[in-house]
Amino acid sequence: MQPLLVLPVLAFVILLTLFILVLRRAGKFIAGTRDVERFRRQVGDLAGRVEISLGEICSRVDALRRGQLAADQVADDLAASLEAVVLYETEAEGLRPPSDGTAIRDAIVAELARAARALEMIEHGRSIQASARSGGREIEAQTAIKRGYLNVLHAREAIAHQAKGVKQVTGSDEASRFQRRNA
């Protein structure tokens, strides 16, 4: 009679073990999904703020390029934009992406560094333009401003592209195992 009592207890232990394993896997899956959604939200928020900041400075620099603003009128804007881009770059470096989101974070950090260098180039051209009103220095100033402006535009586009690409991030291999495949 003793073996008949052991079988239900043994079956209960096996079922309990399987239940615990399923709960652990489900917990990992949910945690992975939560991390992916957090990363997507953070990248979207950061890309939106970068777009607004760089969009504003681009319009001011474009007005400078076209001669609608004096060089001194954009000095404070350039300093504030450069400071904001450096803060955005620090924030982007602090993002914790899932395994397949690392390339997106690195690309955003690289584009923010590119935007910072471009803003420094614009500031260099602006300072030349403010100090030298004619001659060869004016052409150098215009070239630096235009190159910096184009680099800021390209960085904005690349960051927006990465923000769109974050939708393709799936997270861990386990999470992708549970997703439906489109054939």
pTM over 0.85: no
Please give the CATH number for the structural domain made up of 42-170: 1.20.120
**Residue 67 confidence (pLDDT):** 87
Query: Are 103 and 166 contacting, i.e. CB atoms less than 8 angstroms apart?
Result: no
**Residue 12 confidence (pLDDT):** 92
Q: Where are the domains of the chain?
A: 42-170
Range with the poorest average pLDDT among 15-24, 33-42, 52-61, 165-174: 165-174
Residue-averaged pLDDT of the chain:
88
Q: What's the rounded Cα separation, in Å, for the pair 172 and 45?
A: 22
Closest CA to 155 of 90, 124, 121, 110: 110
Per DSSP, the residues of 45-108 read: HHHHHHHHHHHHHHHHHHHHHTTSS-GGGGHHHHHHHHHHHHHHHHHHHT----GGGHHHHHHH
Range with the poorest average pLDDT among 9-13, 66-70, 93-97, 134-138: 134-138
